[in-house]
Structures are given as C-alpha cells and as structure tokens.
Amino acid sequence: MRFPWSRPREGTGWSWQSNQGLVAIPIVLVLVITVADVLSPPDVHLGPLLVVAPALTASFGSSRLTALIGILATGALFTIAAVRNSIFTSNHESQLVALIVISVFTVFFCRLRERHNTELKQVRSVAEAAQEVVLHPLPERIGPLSVAFLYEAAADQARIGGDLYAAVRTRGGTRLLIGDVRGKGLMALDDADLLLGAFRSAAHRELPLEALQAELDAVVTWGLAQPNRHGHDAEESFITGALIDVPDHEPRISILNSGHPAPLRLRDGRVTMLSPRRYAPPFGIPLPQDPGAAPDVYDFAPGDLLLLYTDGVTEARDTAGDFYPLAERLPDIVPGGMHPFDLLTVLREDLLRHASGSLGDDAAVVAVRRDIPGRPRTV
C-alpha cells in the first residue's frame, strides 16, 4: 500500500534476530569471572559475581536463553570449586545453591514477562484488525484529487482510538469526513463506526452540507442514547468532525466544521488555516440545530493541497511540553508542489521527531490535492 499508514508498533521487547550479538556479553562475563577467580589468591572469591550473567540475559533474551546462561554460570562455579578443591566446602555449596535459586527465579519472571507480551500482542492484533475494518483505506485518486492518509497509533497501542476519516464519491464531486471520538477503547470504535456508516450511506445523496450534518448528528445522537451504553464516559460521548465538499469542476471547497480542528490549505508554500466563521455543535450533543452554522466556502484551485487532521497531531508534545506547531512547521518541511504521499511521509517523520518517537494520542491526517489538468500525477 503506497500510503504512510502506521500500524500499532510491536512491544518494546528486543527480538533474537536483532540482538544475537548481545548473547556474547554474558558468555564472556562467565569466562572472565571464572578465569579471574581461578587465578586469584585463595582468600579472594569472585564466583558469586556469576549471578550477573543470567540476570543480564533476562533483560534481552528469552526464558530459555536465560536458563541456558544460568546453567553455564552454575557449571562455571562448579568448575571453580573443582579447581580450588573446595566442592564440598560450605562456602562453595552456599554459592552454588544461591546461584541456582536466583537463576530459577530469574527464569520464572522472564517467563511471566513472555506470557504477558504474548497476551498484549494478541490484544494489539485484535485492536488493529477491528480498527482497519472500521477505517477503510482511502483510494489514491478520487476524481481530480490525489489522496494520501496517515494513521499513527499512540504509545499505548492496546487502546483503540476513535480517530476517523472517509471519502465518498458523488456525481459531481467528492465528499470527505474527518472526525475524532471523545474517549478510547471499543466504545469509541463503536461510535466511530456509527458516524462512518451514516456518512457512507448519506453522503452520496448530495444533500446540502447543513442537511447532511443534521442527519449525521441525528444518527449519532440516537446511537449514543441506546440502552446498551452506560457509565460516565457514555453520558459525555460526542464526536468532533468536519464535512468537506469538493466539486470536480469548480475551484472551491465547502466546509462545515463541527467543533473539529480547522483544516489547512497549502498553496505555493503558504499555509492558510480554514477556520469557520461559526462552528456547528459536535455530533451527538443534544442541542437545537444552530441556524448560524453554515458551510464556509474557500478557494481550492488546481495545485492546492488540503490537510485534514485530528488533535493527536497538534497536541503532540516535545520534552519541554510544547505542542506540535503544525501550521508553522509545514512551510519549513514541505516544498511547493509536493505529492500528498510525500507530504505525509515528511510530516510523520517531523511529528515523531518532535514527540521523541512516541505520541500521547492517536493521530490521523488526510492530505488531498487538486491536480492540475494535463499534468502527470506522479509521486
């Protein structure tokens, strides 16, 4: 797939393939300690230091490898005792017993960690599969538009996010949706599926954006009021979102924003925030429809690029606690005329660099460019 779609990252444990060289460290330690003990004076005992070998192995190796290093260390201690002719002394017997006990406990806890990592991997796999069923990949091209999308999972990948996006083709254009569900977990995923399903079934009917927003809001409000939902989080659920209508043959776009971060328009290296004159209420909040919340119309000429995003992008913090300045960063990292795929690739690298490689919340971005007629749409 030629999009910077980022699946939840695997666990923090190191793999055998990437750390084979580390196995030499405990082995070398066992050899060095053994030789040093044998060559030391009779009153100097370095054998107890052999416990470092299995303990160190547990930090990067499997329980089986840890057990093997523990056996190696025990054999080395037995060798030291044999060379010193002190196998049956209380000193070496106590050292052997202590080393065996510590090695057994180290292997036991290493095994518990492996079981935990396996369970967490299964949870992540289920979460990823469920989210990909709800979030359909966007096509690379829709009419006169080139499209790319990005979903970057937060550091806590076991929590399913509620970021969402969708695109529906109409007879004379394309309708887009970007949104963010309040909360996390399966309930947030269910809410996202509710809004996405309503959008996909209604957007192609070419209702005015005000009518489409009202219909989506009615569906979400109905879904949030169902008796199977309970608890404090359920009572305060809502979805921010933005509906975008992009006609094929007119250099403009219409945006109806329901409490969502304002989209950005990139034109000739300049970034414009498309803030609404008045926000519509978020989906799912039982308020009277605001007659003042009407779509805003903006220029969207060939070559222009529209960036839709969730607050996981702009609320990503660096080590000093500062938010990611998306609008300010784009002119510095994105040259004019960049393809949406390339833009999101660069944006993702810059975002993760700002957040030291770990986001606090899921982040979704959709980049849409109106292609110039007659110019090849190359990546």
pLDDT tens digit string along 230-261?
A: 555 556 789 999 999 999 999 999 999 999 99
Virtual CA dihedral for 281, 254, 308, 370, nearest 10 degrees? 170
79 and 95 Cβ atoms separated by less than 8 Å: no
- 161 in the same domain as 57: no
Query: Quick one: pLDDT at residue 2?
Result: 41
Q: Which residue has the higher pLDDT, 91 or 228?
A: 91
Query: Quick one: pLDDT at residue 155?
Result: 58
Query: Quick one: pLDDT at residue 64?
Result: 92
The DSSP bridge partners found for residue 364 are 151
Q: Cβ of 349: how many Cβ atoms within 10 Å? A: 12
For the chain, the domain total comes to 2
177 and 115 Cβ atoms separated by less than 8 Å: no
Span 137-155, mean pLDDT?
Answer: 89
Query: Quick one: pLDDT at residue 358?
Result: 84
Question: 277: domain range?
Answer: 136-370
- 265 in the same domain as 173: yes
Query: Quick one: pLDDT at residue 354?
Result: 94
User: Beta strands 252-258 and 264-267: pairing type?
Assistant: unpaired
Beginning with the edge strand found earlier in the chain, give each strand of the sheet holding 363-370 in spatial order. 141-142, 145-152, 363-370, 305-309, 264-267, 270-273
Span 12-31, mean pLDDT?
Answer: 71
b or e along 79-93 (b: 16 or more beta carbons within 10 Å of the residue's beta carbon)?
ebbeebebeeeeebe
Residue 37, helix vs strand vs coil: helix
Q: Kindly indicate the confidence band of residue 327, based on its pLDDT and cuts at 50, 70 and 90.
A: very high
The pLDDT tens digits of the residues spanning 64-123 come to 999 999 999 999 998 988 887 777 788 888 888 999 999 999 999 999 999 988 887 777
Query: Quick one: pLDDT at residue 376?
Result: 56
**Is 2 a member of any domain?**
no
Q: Kindly indicate the confidence band of residue 14, based on its pLDDT and cuts at 50, 70 and 90.
A: very low
- 232 in the same domain as 213: yes
| CA gap 209, 217 in Å, rounded | 12
182 and 163 Cβ atoms separated by less than 8 Å: no
Query: Quick one: pLDDT at residue 11?
Result: 41
- 58 in the same domain as 142: no
| CA gap 8, 117 in Å, rounded | 14
> Please, which contacts does 212-217 make with residues 24 or more away whose CB atoms are closer than 8 Å?
212/175, 212/243, 212/256, 213/243, 213/256, 213/258, 213/280, 213/293, 214/289, 216/241, 216/243, 216/283, 217/258, 217/281, 217/283, 217/284, 217/289
- 140 in the same domain as 121: no
**Which among 125, 153, 181 is the end of a domain?**
125
Most confident of 47-56, 290-299, 335-344: 47-56
**Is 9 a member of any domain?**
no
Does residue 9 have a pLDDT over 70? no
Nearest to 258 by CA among 201, 328, 210: 210
**Which among 94, 125, 156 is the end of a domain?**
125
pTM for this entry: 0.71
SS3 content of the chain, % helix, strand, coil (to 5): 45, 20, 40
- 334 in the same domain as 197: yes
**Which among 92, 125, 158 is the end of a domain?**
125
Least confident of 45-54, 255-264, 289-298: 289-298
Tokens of 265: 């328009």
Does residue 353 have a pLDDT over 80? yes
b or e along 3-33 (b: 16 or more beta carbons within 10 Å of the residue's beta carbon)?
bbbeebeeeeeeeeeeeeebbeebeebbeeb
* Averaged confidence pLDDT in the chain: 85
- 290 in the same domain as 190: yes
